[in-house]
Structure 1
Amino acid sequence: MQSALERIDAKLHYTDKGDEKQLTITFEPAILTEVGGKKKKTVLLLEDRDEMAWLIGNFLADEYTVMQVKSVQHAFEEIHRSSPSLFLVDMTMYANAESVFMEYISKNRSLLSKTAFIPMLTWKVSSSIQRELILWSDSYIVLPYDILFLREVVHNAIYGKYQVKQIYMEDLGDLAGQIVCNTPEQADFIRKMLQVIEQNLNQEELGSTLIADRMAMSPRQFYRKFKEISDVAPGDLIKSYRMEKAARLLLNNDMSIQDVITDVGIASRSYFYKEFTRRFGMTPKDYREQHTK
């Protein structure tokens, strides 16, 4: 007990005045300072209880800057704006509104490919939601039992490597959730593959054979490694990448729609319009007008 209190800069004082016994815990405020002259990494904390935010801030203050937000909407706005090193969530907030939180996670999952994610679970969170959160997360803790290990868990999530990690790449859209890496080697494979796709996207013949060649392996080796991490066909992944890239390029009004089509390596304008409309529910022209107002 004493060592735990010391870790959060708290002091325990007990007084015995006959019939009156008093136990006092005095907390020192968290002091956020830079370590080793380097800017500290930011932990974004989704927590609506100020006393809990204060406690977590004290745990992490020596090594991290803790930024508190009180709604999942504001949390993802901040993740999009500043890309914090870690997103820490007290799931107690959503004990009766799990679907709301999971909807935000699903819609913004690509952002979690750049920010480590740790949910703090409680017995109030349903088992099915817990399983889904654990799949998406870099690590997790169970409140209140694991709170004393929070600093170590946060450190490992930011700096360490985990064997099971679901890779969400913003350039893949809906297919991103169907890529699951079970080893660091598999995560490295998918990142290198996406790099090859990006570098050769304007080539119409982009496919498994070209990707395998750029990755210095045979098509058979490439296909075997790819099937270890996803049931999606490589061709579908490439098409998804092209459509997502096209959607981003359309936000640039200086590019014509034909320039966008060429940049993503599609020769047929009619094919592009058909696939784009199927994916986004509107034509490229309508998409540009709606998203650049």
Structure 2
Amino acid sequence: MTALSKPTLIIADDNEELLQFLTDDLSENFEILKARNGKQVIELLNDHQVDLIISDIMMPEIDGYALCAALKSDLEHSHIPIILLTAKNTLEAKIEGIENGADAYVEKPFSPEFLLVQINSLLKNRQNVRNYFLNSPISHVLSIGQNTSDQAFLEKLDQLILANIQNSNLNVDKLAELLHMSRPTLYRKIKSISNLSPNDLINITRLKKAAALLLETDYKIYQISDSVGYSSATHFNRNFQKQFGMTPVEFQEKSKSN
């Protein structure tokens, strides 16, 4: 999702009337992909980058619970927020939805305004977390993981980047090789979780490691620059200031004064 494009939603429901109603209601603010069961949702995900899924629970072939469980356990799609729609208003039904990884639970009948608030809340919260990660020198990459599956992936990714941080040529191809993933799959996964390219994430990881060294060691700037894979201290200083709005020295001084 770029800054100028609409977020893409999948709406899954085997009730054609409700499916069309939701599509008409939400299409002004979102790109809508329609599915009539969980199987079609999975097929759509193979061809589209999706920001959020709205799914009925009672559907043929693959129902909402099974869909939710399958996607939340799948590395490539576990980051996608899922809103479950249901006529079941029992506590047991809600617990089952949460246990299968649902991010929100909306009972039928519902107002379109309430559903829109839920959608915007999930998307906005995710973007707020991403923004904090980008702008804070000390925010850890795990903070942008929305569930245990994403956090496990991010932790492994972070460890690999740090283990190879002095390699100035580290790129998505090398990471894909180390993770035993295809390059397109890794690219999509990183982009979907962080809204960053893999190379941007590598650069931010370098800068955050540098910030940690600024706080924990007495190294000179050129030593830190070299230890995190920058070709020159000038390039490092420029990148640090561009990312965090302050020079490495200013960050160091600000941290000591707090």
Q: TM-score, normalised by structure 2?
A: 0.47
More strand by share: 1
Asked which structure has the greater RCO (Cα within 8 Å, sep 6+), the reply is: 2
Task: Select the structure of larger CA radius of gyration.
Answer: 1
More helix by share: 2
